[in-house]
Homo-oligomer: A and B are copies of this chain.
Amino acid sequence: MKNLPHPHSIELITTGTELLLGQTINTHLRTIAQALLQLGLRIQRQTTIPDGEILLPVLQEALSRSRILIVTGGLGPTSDDVTRPLLSKLLEKPLILHEPTLQHIRQRFRNRNIPVTPLVEKQAYLPQGAEVFPNPNGTAPGLYVTKEFFGQDKHLFFLPGPPRELIPILNNHVLPRIDALCPDRPSSALLLVRTLGKGESFLQQVIEQPLREISPNIEIGYCARSGEVDLRIILYGEETAKLDLVRETLLRLIGDVVWHMGNEELEHLIIARATQLRTTVATAESCTGGLVAHRLTRVPGASAIYLGGVVVYSNAEKIRQLDVPEHLLQNHGAVSSEVALAMLQGLLKKTQAQHAVATTGIAGPTGGTPQKPVGTCFIAATSPQGPIVQQLQLSQERDAFQYQATQHALNLLRLSLG
């Protein structure tokens, strides 16, 4: 993929010894990159360094390259959190008490009936002149400072490391400011298209030529995940006007595998649609082991439409909880279209839900046979035409299998809602 011009270079520095020791996976790059992409901006470079003094030279190095720096981590109360003092050194500004932050910290501790220690209050000492972004989910606030570096204005954003603290500050404070800092960037229009069931080379063969005929400079990115492909389509300048045409063309060419144009997950679409319809949903899971239920109940408001579900791992539980006839289990095996449909019917009868899905399959690593190898999966679901069942051959790797089976189950539930 060619690199587009970057009048507004953005660099990300993630600090944390735990990242370099492999204890924690670094999700900040993805979170921040996805958010910036919505604004038509991208990160040019990302660096991970340990907690400690090394941040100072790394900051100086990055300032020589980039106009906007985003730095994560090191703002907390413990001895390895050194970002605030180093920033004070970089800016040649003292750390001074920020009264609203101190009050916020004390309030959080009062709410939890925990005594505040001087260690914790340290987080309220911030470099003089820094703009402070309150942290609704933690004690360490985000910070924004500007610094002249060899005659250029540089913009530095500091965010706490825990994702649930970082994300609100990113969305509420950092993104609007970066947006305003980059006023003259070329206009662009982004279309995210989520597909399920076809590989990226198939999709490329079908869509690439027709889309290039619409806009020769169109940027088409393929992100193949486990069993699905997300398309990232970007139009630039005047060609942004062709976005609707691109959308229609895609639906014409690959509409059968597109489940969404946008960034949402299937569970959000399902809960939104079911809430709109004031209907009810239930789940019966064998091979997906509760992941379908978990995905649905992650969404706020799920309790209004999701009645509940069962995770029936053993045959005995399939019989007890869902009245699956024993002869079906004996004659066809637990992993069969007959049992998937019986699970669905038992679930519908017991819960009286209007929409439902049932999964059964072989997640592995053991349990496969020549006829039904690891990766075999049956999903039964309600549909506008009555109960349906889908047979799939999915990944032979357990985690990937459960994810893929869950995606297909949620997609059938989405289609059931119409």
Which A positions have Cβ atoms within 8 angstroms of B?
1-3, 16-27, 29-37, 42-54, 76-80, 112, 114, 117, 119-120, 137, 162, 164, 192, 199-202, 204-205, 208, 220-226, 230, 232, 283, 285, 288-294, 296-298, 300, 302-303, 306-314, 316-317, 320-321, 350-351, 363-367, 393, 395, 397-400, 402
Contact = CB atoms under 8 A, between A and B. Distances in A.
Contact of A314 (B21, B199, B308): B308
Contacts of A47: 45-48
A313 B307 CA distance: 5
Contacts of A23: 30, 192, 221, 223, 230, 232
A409 B204 CA distance: 45
A311 B289 contact: no
A204 B200 CA distance: 49
Stoichiometry (number of copies) = 2
Contacts of A202: 114
B1 A20 contact: no
B398 A298 contact: yes
A297 B362 CA distance: 12
A25 B27 contact: yes
Contacts of A303: 313-314, 367
A346 to B, nearest CB: 12
A229 to B, nearest CB: 10
A50 B44 contact: yes
Nearest to A364: B300
Contact of A200 (B2, B17, B76, B317): B76
B119 A205 contact: yes
Given A34-B22, A79-B1, A307 B300 contact: no
Given A21-B42, A48-B29, A297 B307 contact: no
A30 to B, nearest CB: 4
Query: A51, A54, A205, A317: which has the most chain B beta carbons within 10 Å?
Result: A317
B18 A221 contact: yes
A237 B23 CA distance: 23
A30 B25 CA distance: 6
Given A49-B45, A309-B311, A398-B300, A232 B29 contact: no
19 contacts: A1-B17, A1-B51, A1-B79, A3-B17, A20-B45, A22-B32, A22-B37, A44-B50, A46-B47, A137-B395, A164-B395, A289-B294, A290-B294, A290-B297, A290-B309, A297-B402, A300-B365, A303-B367, A321-B321
Contacts of A205: 117, 119
Given A29-B48, A312-B308, A222 B78 contact: yes
Nearest to A350: B320
Contact of A18 (B114, B223, B316): B223
Contacts of A366: 300
A307 B33 CA distance: 41
A356 to B, nearest CB: 13
Given A21-B33, A320-B350, 7 more contacts: A3-B54, A17-B221, A117-B205, A137-B400, A285-B290, A290-B297, A308-B321
Given A20-B42, A223-B24, A313 B306 contact: yes
A31 B22 contact: yes
